[in-house]
Structures are given as C-alpha cells and as structure tokens.
Amino acid sequence: MASSSAGGPGSGDAAPPRRNSKRPKYSRFTQQELPACKPILTPRWVISAFLLVGIVFIPIGVISLFASQDVVEIVDRYDSVCIPKNFTNDKVKYIQSPGSKPPCHRILNVTKHMKQPIYVYYQLDNFYQNHRRYVKSRNDKQLRDPSSENDISGCKPEDSNSRGVIVPCGLIAWSLFNDTYNFSHNNQQLKVNRRGISWKSDRDHKFGKDVFPKNFQSGGLIGGGKLAYNVSLSEQEDLIVWMRTAALPTFRKLYGKIEVDLQKGDVINVTLGNYYNTYSFNGKKKLVLSTTSWLGGKNDFLGIAYLTVGGLCFFLALSFTLIYLIKPRQLGDPTFLSWNRGPGGH
Amino acid sequence: MYFLMVSILSATPYSPVHPVTNVVPLSLVLLVSLIKEAFEDWKRFQNDMAINNTLVDVLQDQRWECIPWKRLQVGDIVRVKQDGFFPADLLLLASTNPDGVCYIETANLDGETNLKIRKALERTWDYLTPDKACEFKGEVQCEQPNNSLYTFTGNLVMENQTLPLSPNQLLLRGCSLKNTQYIVGAVIFTGHETKVMMNSMNVPSKRSTLERKLDKLILTLFGTLFTMCLIGAIGSGVFINKKYYFLGLEKGVEDQFNPNNRFLVTLLTMLTLLTLYSTIIPISLYVSIEMIKFIQSTQFINKDLNMYHVETNTPALARTSNLNEELGQVEYIFSDKTGTLTRNLMEFFKCSIGGEIYGTGVTEIERGIAERNGIKLQEEKVTNAAHEKGFNFDDERLMRGAWRNEANSDACKEFFRCLAICHTVLPEGDESPEKIKYQAASPDEAALVIAAKNFGFFFYRRTPTMVYVRESHVERMGKIQDVPYEILNVLEFNSTRKRQSVVCRYPDGRLVLYCKGADTVIYERLAVGNDNLKKVTREHLEQFGASGLRTLCLAYRDLAPDMYESWNEKFIQAKSSLRDREKKLDEVAELIENNLVLIGATAIEDKLQEGVPNCIETLSRAGIKIWVLTGDKIETAINIAYACNLMNNEMKQFIISSETDAIREVEERGDQVEIARFIKEEVKKELKKCIDEVQQYFHNVSGPKLALVIDGKCLMYALDPSLRVMLLTLSLNCASVVCCRVSPLQKAQVTSLVKKGARKITLSIGDGANDVSMIQAAHIGVGISGLEGMQAVMASDFAIAQFRFLKDLLLVHGRWSYLRICKVVTYFFYKNLTFTLTQFWFTFNTGFSGQRFYDDWFQSLYNVIFTSFPVIILGLFDKDVSASLSKRYPELYKEGIRNVFFKWRVVAIWAFFAVYQSLVFYHFVTTSSSAAQSSSGKTFGLWDVSTMAFTCVVVTVNLRLLMMCNSITRWHYIGVGGSIVAWFLFIFLYSGLMTKHDRQENIYWVIYILMSTAYFYVTLLLVPVAALLGDFIYQGVQRWFFPYDYQIVQEIHSHEPDDSRTELLEIGNQLTPEEARSYAISQLPRELSKHTGFAFDSPGYESFFASQLGIKAPQKAWDVARRACARSKPKVSKKEKR
C-alpha cells in the first residue's frame, strides 16, 4: 500500500489551494466512511438473543394465559334447537314465515363464579360481513348527517323503496341482527343493559344524533331487525355494533351487559326470540356469556403463542449452545474461506 | 405500463380500491424517474454540444472562417493547424512542409504513437494559401463510406485529368496533425460517414444483467399474481350463491356478483383481484434502484478520493448510472495496451555491456515479485530527479564518463557508438542536448538515442550521408569533440529481419557494421568464440525479459575495405532491382550481417502505468480474466503481457500466428482466395491442436496455467462462425489471452464473442478511438480519461484516470453496488410479497369477493412511504467489509461473479420467509382477535383488525431490514425509525381527522381504539418477533454452518477498527485545513462506532479529544441532536437482535 503512494506528489505542491482542481472534496458520506456499527451474528449473539426472547416471552405468555383462564365463558348454540320439531327439515321456511314465533327457552349453567359485568354476545358463523358487496353497502354520510339523507350512493340494492329513500340504507343495516335474549335467574329477571355496547367514537361521530330511521325494513323483503323510528341512530347501539363489520365470517358481537355477579351453580333461563335467518346459509348462532380480563375475552391463543415462541427460543438457545460446545466453528477461521477450502472440500 | 393498467382498472367499479390511491404513487414514481432521465439527457446533450461546437477553419470567400464542426460539409476546404484533430475524413491537398508531406499521429485510431507520413498529390501542393485554395476545383470519386481504416481507393478528377488517390492522401478523423504548421484538405466524409464512426458500432443501450434478471423476477411475480388472482377468481365463482341473502343477491344484481352467471363473476373478480394484489409488483422498485444507483455513481464513484488522479487532476467519472452493480460481476476484462496498461513511454532502463549489468532501476514487476516474497525493497526515492523522458537509468559506473574506468571500457565505447549511430532517427530543433528533439519511427529508437546522448554520445545532426555525434570523455575525461561518421549503408528494420544494421566509416577510415536486433537473430549471426560472454549476456537477456523489459542485442563487425566494396556492389545491384527488391535486399544483407561481435544488450522499459502489475495480479486473484487486445506487434504484446504479470514462464503458451513460413509462402503467391483458404485451414489446425493439448492439461489438475496469443489475421479466420466455437473453448480455458495486431472492429468482435458466446460479463477498458467499438460492445466500457483524445471516454460508461483504479472501481464500488442492489431487490421482493400475501389469505375469508384487508391509503402508501426510505439507505450505506479489506481479499469478488446473492435459491428463501411471515401476520392477528379485545367487552371490526395487522407488517418489515444490514449507520436508525414513526403519525392523523369529503370513515378513530387496549401492545410485541424468528434462525444457522466468505472476513477483522482510515491517512496530507479537521475528528473514538450503542453524555466529549490533538472542533447544534439520537438507539437495536 505504501509503495503505491510513492509516485504521488509530495504534499508540498498539493497543499496550495488550486482553484480549478477537480479533486473531490473529502466527506465521509462520499468516501462511504460513515461511522457504523457492524453487528456480526456470532453464536454468542444468537444464543443470547434466543435466551432474551425466551426470558421475556415466557412470563408474558404465562400472564396472558392466566388472564385468559380467569375469564369465564358460557357458549350455547341454539340455531337448530330453537326450531320447532315440525320445521326441522325446513328451517328456512320457518324463519321466513311471517308472524310471531314462539319463544325458545334455553338453560345455562354457571360453572364458575362470574363477576359483573358479564357480557352477552351473539356469535354468528359463516356470515360474510366482510364480503365486498356487503362491506361497501352503506353510506356513512347519510348515517351522520341529516341533510345528506338522500345520499344513498353505494347502498344498492337496499337504497330506496316505494316510499322513498331508506335511512339507514344499505345491506348492512338491512340485515340487522334481531334475535332477542331475556335472562332470568331464579325466576327473577336479569336486567341486560344494552347501553354502552358500542365504541364511543362510533356513537359520537359516525352516527348522527339527529338522524332518524326512515322507511327502514318496509320494502318487500325484510332482511332483519327493525328500528324504532323515533330514536336517533346514535342511540341505536345494536345497529352501531352491527355496522362495525367484522373481519372474519365467524364473529361475535356484543348484545348487552348483565351487571350482577353470577355464582357458581346458578341456573339461568334464557328466553330467546329466534327471528334471525342464518338457516339459508347454514350459519350457526351462538349465545355467549363471558367476563373479561385486562386482555379481553377468553382467548388462549396469545398466551399459547407467547409460550410457544418463548419455549422455542429456549430450546433453540439450548441446542445452539450444545452445538457450540460440541462442534464449534472458530470465528474468522481463514481455512473456511472458499478459496482456501480447495476444490475438493464442499 | 402495468401500473397504468391497474390505475385504469381501479377507476372501474370492479375495483376494491379508490383510483386516486393508485394514481398518486404512480405519478410520484413517474415524476421521479422523469426528472432523472431529463437530467442525464441534458448532460449528454452538453457533451455532444462541446464536440460539435469545436471550431475549425474553413475556406469561405477566400478567407479562413471559423465554423463549428457540426456545420462542416463534404467538399469544404479546411485548414487544420499543428496538433489539431481532423474534424472529418480529409483529402490532403497541401501542407506547409516541403513535398506536400505532413505527419499525423494515429494514436486515437490504432494506439500507435509513432508519426505516420501522409503525402499530398504533387498536383495539389500549391493550394496552401486561401487565394490559391479557392481556385481548387476538382471532383473526387471514391468508394462508399466503409469501416476499413487502412484502405481507400478513389480518383481526383482535375481539369480532365484523373489522379488516383490512395490511403496516403487520406487524413482520418480522430488523428491529429504533428510537426506540420498546417495543412489544407478537402472534406470527403463527415460525421457518421467517417471511417472512425463507421468503425464504432451503434451505441447499444446498456442495461445491467442484474436488471435483466430482475425483469425475470418481476415476470415471476406477475405469474404469481395471476395464479393468485385465478385462485381467488375461481373461488369467487364457486362461492357466490343466493343463499347468502344478506348480500342482496335476489334481484337487480350487477354482473360481478350475479350468481346466475358464475363465469362472468369469475372473470370480473379476476380484474378486481388484479388491482387488489397489484402491490405484489413493487411500483417503486425501479425508481428506488435508479435513485440508489444515481447517488452511488455521482456521489460515491465520482467523488472517491482513491480514484482521483493528482497528476492529471482527474476524478473518476461514471457516465451512466445503470451499470454500477454490473461492476461487481465482471469476469472478463478486455484491455487495450497503449495508454491503458502502458504509458506509451519508452525508457532506457538497463543494459548489459560486455557481460556486466548496468542500471539500478527496479521494474514494477520485480517490485511485485519482491513484495509477494515479503522482501522489502529499499525505496529508491531518488530516481534522479532530473531524468529525461525516455531515459530512466542511473548507474554511477557509466554516467558522466565514469565508464572509462570500467574493465570493459572499449566495449562500452562501442556500445554507445552503436546506440548513437545505428538508427534512423531524425534530430530536430536546436542542436543542444537540452533542446533537441528526436523524430523516430518508434519510441524505442528515440529512447536508445537519448540514452546515447546521456552517456555522452550526443547525436545532433544527420545528413543523407553523415551522422554527427558529439562525443565526450572518449579520449580523456572532459574532452568533447564532434565526430562525423559517414553512413555508407542502412539495412533497415522489418519484421522478418528483426534487426537493423548500419555500415559506417569513421573519420579515421575504420569501416564498421553496427547491428542491433532481436537476440535470436543476432545470436545466429555471431562470430564463433567468446562463448562466455554470449552465455552471460543471454542470461542477462532472460533476466531482463523476465522483468518485463524489451531487449535488443547490439553487435558490431569490423569490415575489411575490399570485402565491403564487393558486398556494396551487390547491395547496389539489389537496391536497383525492379522485381522482388525487398527480398533481394534481405538476401544481400544476410551476406554481411554475420561474424558479428556481441557488445551487449539494452533493456527498455515500456513504461507501465503506475500499479498495473499489482492491479492485474489482484484482479486475477479476484477471479477476473484479463485479455489484452492490442494493435501492436506480437512480440511487443507478449512482452507487455510478461511485464504486466499476465504471463510468466511457468505458463504454457499457445501462439497462433500468421507469421509462419507456410503462410508467408502462400501469401507470396498472392492469390487472395488461396490465402484465405490456406490460413483458415492453418488456423483450424492450430486451434484443434491447442484444444487437444488443453484437454490434456485439463485432465491433470495441477497442470500449468495456459496462455493464448493470437494475431489479428488469424483471429479474422478464427472468428469465422465455423471456428468460433473452437476459439471460444480454447480461450475460455486460458488464464490469459493476448490478441495482437487486431483492428478496432476485431476488438469488438472478440468482446462480443465472449459476451454472447460465453454469457459472461465483460468489461472493456481503453483510451483511444480504436477502443471505442470494444468499449461499446462490452457490458461495461471503461475509458481512460485525463489524457487528450476523448473518444474512448465519450463512448464509455465509466471513465477513470489510471488502469489501477480499476481495482477500486471493481473490487470496492462494483462489489458494494452489486451487494447493495441485490439486497435492495430481494428486500423489495420480500416486502411486497409479504404484504400482498396477507391480503391473499384474507381473500379466502371474504368469500373471494376481493374485499381489501387494508385501507386504500395504507396499501398505496406502504410502498411509497412506509417502507421505501430505509431500503434506499440500505442501498447506499450497506457495506459488508471495508474498502481496504475488499482490496485485501480480492477473492471476495468471486461471490459477485458467481452471482451468489441473486440466485433463484436466494429468492426462493426470501419467498419462503415471505410466506411464513404473511401467515404469521394474518393468522396471529385474526385468531387472537376473535374474542373481545378489551376489558370493556367490545369487539373489533374489520378495520381494527387490519390496522393491527398493518402495524405489525410495517414494524416487522422495517426491522427485517435492519437484520439484513452489515453495517448500521445512524441513517439506518433514522430511516427505519422514521418509517415506523411515519406510519404512526400517518395513522394518528388519518384516523383522527374526519372531513366532509371523507368517502368512508372506516378508519375513523381506529388507532385510538386499538391503542386503548392492552391487546394491541401484547400483539405488537408478539407478531414481529414471531415473524422474524424464522429469518433469525436462518441467518444464525447460515452464518454458523455455511458462512459466506465475506462473513468470515468480517469475523477475522471484527476487532480491528475500521482500517480504511489508516489507508486514508495518505490522503490526509492533501486535505485542506478545514477538511483535515473534519477528518481528524472522524478519527476520534466515537460512540456510534461501538456496537453496544454506549453513549457518552459528557457534552464536551468531542472537543475535548479534539483539542488534545490540537484540533478545534466547534460545538455544533447537531452534535447535541446526534447524541440524542445515539441515546435513543439502544432500544431499536435491541429489537433488531431478536
């Protein structure tokens, strides 16, 4: 290296500033010498990274799993049970037949102490709330603003009927879930609070306080629930909940809250109004009673995932350590360089 | 085009996304590339303007008018002054020299620097002055423009007189006028019709091979896209059913969802999905790559101090930014000789007189050998400061008359006289040693005469019969006398004789024949006896040859007057014979050139460019094969190959030459067809023989390296389609190949032979116009800049000042560029695939309806904003090993030749992890969100889940980038951190605002809802780690068990500080004071260079150390800011570790 500079001029003649020198200016950017840290994934780093992940993840996993275990959840599928015996072969016909339907009675056993609030969910299956035709079939402006009442773009086919525009328009609103649940415990009515079940931002901003339903469910085909005409949309919380479309075809939506504790061994009578049609597409309907933890409802997935990842990391750390001890590779061993390995060596 | 189509599609009702979101990134990307193209075009335009507007004198209205080259027309009479370039192919009419002679230099065409003589027709000699010249009337009939540089036939018709024209009257564009005040010529061909331009092939638009491979990758992505769309579309056709009453499919359904026409549904959903999955094609990839390359070339290559040549004040210049990464994959280099490998400077370097070696110089090649053996050569710093051009010799024993004290002083005297007398050089200018200039047919000759001058035998005048030499110190020290020698006969040099002799008569009547020539021919003709001297001199010759010097043997013979007289008669007879004069002269010469007495040998250094052998050695260690293509003679070419380390005596040489007796014999018969056929046969035979031998060597592994030497005439036939394959197999098996006497076009043909035939990446380097076609034919053309003659640079893609800079250009810039671009491309591929696949998995859960998972703006800004900046940083700053290590381990370059980092296997691994990660993203997020996600029991909707997933994707993809970096600068942190922050800022704003014109408030308040839950944070930690786990395991295992070479080199030097700095210290002394200070600061220990991210908090830290070193460092605001950055860093780097 040193000899190559011998031919260069001494610094003597280069030092005086030459006006039209094309010599590039020295900067660390152009010379690509920006300071940098150069992480090298040495076995030690790999092992300690694995250990670290293991150490962090396993406790989180345990905590999450405990949180999930704490949650008490009662699930009851009622879609086929609540069809009268003579209609079992033609459920769709039953559910679509006009007229009142007899209430359906279900009994739920509380297996564990449930602290209030106990959340009541309905869970639908095979219901594609995330279908493109479905998702876009609404008009947010109309929902929010009374002056945009006639703005029904995107709402087809449920945009208007013979009486005029529909508020709220669109398929989502039209197919509003309308099964009803009444709970009683020891012949005593359990009050279900149906307020505060939607996200506040939806209530306050997406659904107008002075927007009222209009011509809703008054066409030929009734899709689902009806709305009280004199209650503003921002207070129709079941609609608001319903209209926050779900991500997956199996989803839970909040129906209400029971604000009393339930003891272990309690028997709860549910009086079901079975009106909603999931029979056309073989969808299940489930009633869910659940408490929550800090992490939400009963979901072991997070905890298990954390434990799996953490455990895997521990395992890897261990096996890497073993390999490291049994068959170490000297770091920076020049014999590993491909041109030193010779053509024969792999 | 594709993106345009998608944008149009997105404007149709089938689109799941809003058209604006597609159009905005597209136009952004187009705009950037438009600006870049415009900028480069403008620069090219400026260059062209510079050439086209060079002025030339043209005869107009009896006056010389200056007009720019571009307005020159055929038939114009132009005047070209001394040292000027000819603007077009000219017919020489008149010259200021007597006899209508002018001298031209054709270095730009064929690389030869000796002057050539052109002579005007006698009839036109007078048209020198404007008033005369305007009387010139004539008609030129000539052949169509063609590319043959050495032929020209035509007629000049003047006043009913037809005069034949030959190449002797033709001045080609690209040559320059020398030793002539000015000439007047008529323009015959201009512009593209000139022979130089006909020789240059059409400028091919060059794209790098990597980019072409990238196209294939993009095509694969298209394939994937269509497969995905097809799956989705078929699914949608199957899925759609009236039973999903909530979809309102009963009446008046638009085509896309009409269950009664499933085929149409499939078709239209295809279109929908096409727009939905369009993100799989990285829209900003090409633009990002171009941007990266542009900065690489303008900021890194052009401004590299290691490639700045001080003497000529030339930095490197990347004329195109398309080929940066191609530089990292070059396997064959085609190099011109003159001006590229050599300086075209002959220097008298050593000599052997009477069995004694004189001369202390050390050639580059010797230095190289010594360095390899670990011997430190004492640096001969004092290469006598005032040494003359052409003379690089220093030995106290010979200089300033000291030779008189040598044992063999008589031999010395003869030696010097031989040098001073036996030549065909013309002295020019003042007759003083300092001012005289020698005009020689070859620079070798001039060097020898200059040597004689320096030894005190100053040749200063030549008349047709006499040579005058001013001899010093001959009879006694300090005495100077002018001695006239009568030159009786000159037996000239030609390629068959390989020697030159002069018969001269001393003033005292002594008759001597001085002879100089190749050792083989001289030794054949030596008198018997004195075997010891012969042996020693031969050893010396071999020694010189091994050092890469050009040797000549000197000999003399005392002639008896009567013997001479009888010979002279024969000579005169031969000279006046009409038939076969040349042959007869040779025969006569043979009669007298025998019984010679050996005096000694000269060794001339064909001065190599600085550092050439070292560079070539390094490059060949890097797995690059270097071919020399030169217009020179075969001997010269071989000699240079030796000097450059391309060949050595251990190598097995195959020489295919047309200079064999058999071929010459046929040639003498003169039947063109017969010659062609015969040479072709010969060449074929030779090739076959060589290949057979090669096969033999190939079988035993430890065989010698092979070298092939082939000359232009043979090459012409060998390039014939029928022999081409043979030539290729032969030459590819050779470590080095030398082609001599090749025309510019042949250079290009050889280049494209390897380029197309072997599908290897080629680089051509040259300095003259004769290299232009070669430069254009190769994948990469490199021009040597800084000297006169810009044609090569104009045609090139990169211009450097010195051959040795090739080392930096290839091993450092090329390798890094290749590495970076590979990483950028694979990363782009990965991030888009990952992102799109999450979308794809979602499709399965939406009844294949083509519902988008993410909000429109997420989707379109993903490529443009949230993930684009860090990857550019990566493309600019990533380096695996430092510049000096790259040069120290040239073998690392082989990874580029083998294309290790952009194989399908690499892509497949990335693809695999992309699939894995997308599955993690989608399923982890959706599965975990099935129940309530907050203690308030409320559930998430579609947009909550997708925002969650998108956040995970952005975070992961950005962290993945950090994982693949070899060096992490603060720009990386800014880039990666900035991208993640940008996403959060964006989502905070986007979901926080609700405007009147909002289409759908899907995202309204979503992020706030998400962030109010513990679930968000738990998932955000889990998903990226789980997603990156796979990659991390892979990287760890790969590094551990199957390390790449560069990784080992990293490990070897992991504990050394960045040693590129020590190397730069040399440059340090050229820095301006201000730069020196910033440089010195950069030398200080620095918190950012430590891996731990340990940060000093002492505010005066830098200035403290700086002041200790005597440097004043101003406390700047950004210092504080940077330190703040450094403090926040550990958190990021910790995440990256997982």
Give B605-648 pLDDT, tens digit per residue.
877 888 888 888 888 888 888 888 887 777 778 878 887 878 77
Residue-wise pLDDT for B712-733, tens only, equals 888 888 888 888 888 888 888 8
Residue B324's Cβ-count burial label (10 Å; 0-12, 13-18, 19+) is buried
- Return the exposure string of B787-820: e unless at least 16 CB atoms fall within 10 Å of the residue's CB, then b: bebbbbbbbbbbbbbbbbbbbbbbbbbbbbbbbb
d(CA B553, CA B390): 19
Cβ contact B244–A280 (<8 Å): yes
Residue B377: predicted pLDDT? 52
Of A221, A245, A280, the CB nearest to B243: A280
Q: Which of B220-234, B742-756, B909-923, B973-987 has the lowest mean pLDDT?
A: B742-756
Query: Who among B308, B1054, B1064 is closest to A332 (CB)?
Result: B1054
Q: Is B630 annotated as a binding residue?
A: yes
Contacts of B30 by beta carbon, 8 Å cutoff, 6+ apart = none
pLDDT value for B788: 55
Whether B869 has a pLDDT exceeding 50, the answer reads yes
Contact status, residue B774 vs residue B631, Cβ threshold 8 Å: no
B977 is in an annotated binding site: no
- Give the least confident one: A49-63, A272-286, B113-127, B233-247: B113-127
Tally of CA atoms within 13 A in the half-sphere of B558 that contains its CB:
4
Query: Among positive and negative, which fits the CA dihedral B72, B74, B79, B84?
Result: positive
- Residue A44 banded pLDDT, cuts 50, 70, 90: confident
Q: With CB atoms and an 8 Å threshold, state whether B1088 touches A31.
A: no
Residues of B in contact with A292 (CB under 8 A): 932, 934-937
Residue of A nearest to B895 (CA): A338
Q: Which two tokens stand for residue B508?
A: 């005292």
pLDDT at B1081 over 70: no
Digit-coded pLDDT (tens) for B742-757: 877 888 888 888 888 8
Contact A198, A239 (CB under 8 A): no
CB atoms within 10 A of CB A315: 12
Q: Any binding-site annotation on B741?
A: yes
Backbone dihedral angles phi then psi of residue B610, each to the nearest 5 degrees: -60, 135
Closest CA to B924 of A187, A259, A308, A160: A308
Dist. CA B592–CA B513, nearest whole Å: 8
How far is the first Cα of chain B from the last one, in angstroms, to the nearest whole number?
A: 40
Strands B499-505 and B511-517, sheet pairing = antiparallel
| Alpha helical stretches, state H, B878-969 | 883-888, 894-897, 904-919, 925-928, 942-963
Running DSSP on this structure, what letter comes out for residue B375? Answer: P
Whether B395 has a binding-site annotation, put simply, is no
- Is A337 an interface residue toward B (CB < 8 Å)? yes
Helix (H) / strand (E) containing B356: strand B356-358
> Cβ contact (<8 Å) for B931 and A297?
yes
Nearest-neighbour CA in chain B from A269: distance (Å): 22
Taking a C-beta distance cutoff of 8 angstroms, is the pair B4, B23 a contact?
no
B336 is catalytic: yes
Strands B77-81 and B55-60 come out as: antiparallel
Q: Mean pLDDT throughout B296-318?
A: 85
Instruction: Please answer yes or no on whether B1138 and A249 come within 8 Å at the CB atom.
Output: no
Q: Rounded to whole angstroms, how far apart are CA atoms A289 and A187?
A: 19
Q: Does residue B525 surpass a pLDDT of 80? A: yes
Q: What is the overall mean pLDDT for chain B? A: 79
| pLDDT higher than threshold 50 for residue B1104 | no
Give CA–CA dist B620/A49, Å, rounded. Answer: 41
With a cut of 70, say whether residue B24 has pLDDT above it: yes
CA geometry: angle B1079, B1082, B1086, nearest 5 deg: 170
**Residue B1059: pLDDT band with limits 50, 70, 90:** very low
The verdict on A335 touching B (C-beta cutoff 8 Å) is no
Taking only the tens place, the pLDDT of each residue in B40-66 is 778 778 877 877 777 788 887 777 888
Nearest to A293, CA basis, from B934, B1018, B930, B944: B934
Whether the per-residue pLDDT at B597 is higher than 60: the answer is yes
Contact B1026 A119 (CB under 8 A): no
Q: Contacts of residue A30 in chain B, CB cutoff 8 Å?
A: 299-300, 303-304
- Residue pair B683/B656 in contact by the 8 Å Cβ criterion: yes
Q: Are B52 and B88 in contact (CB under 8 A)?
A: no
- Pairing type for strands B706-711 and B736-740 reads parallel
Residue type, B964: M
Percent of chain A with pLDDT over 70: 92
Q: Give me the residue from A296, A323, A343 closest to B935, CB to CB.
A: A296
Task: Check B970 against A35: CB less than 8 A apart.
Answer: yes
Q: Smallest Cβ distance to A248: which of B845, B883, B944? A: B845
**CA closest to B1016 among chain A residues:** A295
In angstroms, rounded to a whole number, what is the distance separating the alpha carbons of residues B153 and B448? Answer: 38
The alpha-carbon gap from A207 to the nearest alpha carbon of chain B, in Å, equals 11
Distance from A267 to chain B by nearest Cα, in Å? 23
Question: CA nearest A113: which of A289, A258, A264, A257?
Answer: A264
Residue B491's closest CA among B409, B563, B594?
B594
Model pLDDT for residues B824-848, shown as the tens digit of each residue? 999 999 999 999 999 999 999 988 8
Minimal CA–CA distance to B359: which of B380, B389, B344, B345? B380
Which tokens belong to B144? 């169509």
B721-732 helix and B672-699 helix, angle to the nearest 10 degrees:
30
**B652-656 vs B706-711, strand pairing mode:** parallel
Residue B703 dihedral angles phi and psi, to the nearest 5°:
-60, 165
Determine the pLDDT at residue A54: 92
Q: For residue B747, say whether it is annotated as part of any ligand binding site.
A: yes
Q: List the end-to-end C-alpha distance of chain A, in Å, as a whole number.
A: 34
Q: Label residue A307 by pLDDT band (50, 70, 90).
A: very high
Interchain pair A53, B929: CB under 8 A: no
- Residue A250 above 60 pLDDT? yes
pLDDT at B538 over 90: no
Query: How many residues are recorded in chain A?
Result: 346
CA distance readout (Å), B38 to B35, B48, B289, B298: 5, 15, 17, 15
Q: Which of B939, B970, B995, B1011 to mutate to test the interface with A (most CBs of A within 10 A)?
A: B939
Interface touch B245/A277, C-beta < 8 Å: yes
User: In chain A, which residue's Cα lies nearest the Cα of B925?
Assistant: A302
Alpha carbon distances (Å) from B81 to B87, B185, B429, B787:
12, 11, 19, 20
Q: What gap in Å lies between CA B273 and CA A132, rounded to an integer?
A: 12
Looking up tokens 């360089």 gives A337
Q: Of B386, B394, B392, B399, give the one whose Cα is nearest residue B347.
A: B392
Residues contacting residue B234 through CB under 8 Å, at least 6 positions apart: B266
Output B674 or B959, whichever has higher pLDDT: B959
Task: Tell me the residue length of chain B.
Answer: 1138
For A338, which of B300, B1045, B1089 is closest by C-beta distance?
B1045
The response to whether B767 counts as a known ligand-binding position is: yes
- Say which of B76, B89, B304, B336 is annotated catalytic: B336
**Residue among A26, A37, A224 minimizing CB distance to B1089:** A37
Give SS3 for A28.
coil
- Give the pLDDT band of residue B901 (cuts 50, 70, 90): confident
Q: What are phi and psi of B196, to 5 degrees?
A: -65, -45
d(CA B903, CA B561): 79
User: Which of the residue ranges A97-106, A186-195, B437-446, B704-713 would you say has the lowest mean pLDDT?
Assistant: B437-446
How many inter-chain contacts (A to B, CB under 8 Å) are there?
Answer: 353
Q: Which ipTM was obtained for this model?
A: 0.91
Structure tokens at A216: 């809703």
Do residue B937 and residue A38 have CB atoms under 8 angstroms apart? no
pLDDT confidence of residue B995: 62
Mean pLDDT across B174-187? 82
**CB within 8 Å of B396: residues ≥ 6 apart:** B402
B205's CB contacts (< 8 A; 6+ apart) are none
Minimal-distance CA residue of chain A relative to B379: A3
Q: Which of residues 283-322 of A touch B (CB under 8 A)?
A: 290, 292-299, 301-302, 305-306, 309, 312-313, 316, 320
Asked whether residue B1112 carries a pLDDT value surpassing 90, the answer given is no
Q: What is the DSSP letter of B205?
A: P
Per DSSP bridges, beta strands B597-608 and B317-318 are: unpaired
- The whole model's pTM is what? 0.80
Give the max Cα distance, chain A: 110
- B155 has a pLDDT exceeding 60: yes
pLDDT at B373: 66
d(CA B737, CA B732) in angstroms, rounded, equals 9
At position B528, the amino acid (one-letter code) is: V
Which tens digit of pLDDT belongs to each residue from B490-516? 887 776 777 888 888 888 888 888 888
How far is A8 from B72, CA to CA, in rounded Å? 43
Q: Tell me the per-residue pLDDT of B435-487, one tens digit each, with 9 for 90 and over.
A: 787 877 777 888 888 888 888 888 888 887 888 888 877 766 677 888 888 88
Confidence of residue A256 (pLDDT cuts 50, 70, 90): very high
What letter would DSSP give residue B1107? H
Residue of chain A whose Cα is closest to the Cα of B622:
A339
